[in-house]
Amino acid sequence: MATVRDVVNGALRRLGVLDVSEDAEAEVAAVALAAYNAMHAEAYHAGWIAGTWTDLGLNDTAAIGPAYAESAKAAVAVRIAPDYGREVGRRLALDGARWMAMVAAANPPKATFERGFRCEDVDQEYGASV
C-alpha cells in the first residue's frame, strides 16, 4: 500500500516540481498534502467513501487501493498546478479526472430527496452520465 507521502511526491514529480530521486521538503509537501486531504474529504462528503474521514499525515497509509495510486497522484497534481505556476496538460488532466471517475464508479452516492440529488447534476459536474 502506498503512503500519503508516495502520492504527494508522485504528484510533485508529475508537475516537474521534484526530480525523480527527490522527496518533498515539509513546506512543499504541505501544499500537496492539503490537496490530497481536500480531495478525499470531498469524496467522503459526496458519499463515495464510507465510514468516517479524518485528514491524513504524510506517513499514513493512503486511503486508496493500488489501482487508484497513479490517478490519485495526477488528481493531486492537477489541484496544485496553479500553486506552482504549472500548466495542466491534456494527459495529466485526463489521468486526474480518472481518479474521481474511479472513486465515483466504485462508490455511487446515495440519491436522496433531502440532498436534491439528480443524475443531471453529476453529468454537468463530471461530464459523465450515470
Q: Could you report the per-residue pLDDT of 60-91, keeping only the tens digit for each?
A: 998 777 788 899 999 999 999 999 999 999 99
Task: Please state the φ and ψ torsions of residue 64, each to the nearest 5 degrees.
Answer: -145, 155
Q: Where are the domains of the chain?
A: 4-126
CATH class of 4-126: mainly alpha
At 1 the three-state DSSP class reads: coil
Chain centroid, CA 35 distance in Å:
7
CA angle 68, 70, 74 (to 5 degrees): 110
pLDDT at 36 over 90: yes
111 pLDDT band (50/70/90 cuts)?
very low
Report the range of poorest mean pLDDT among 30-34, 71-75, 114-118.
114-118
Instruction: Please name the residues in contact with 4: beta carbons below 8 A apart, sequence gap of 6 or more.
Output: 33, 36, 56, 57, 58, 59, 60, 61, 62
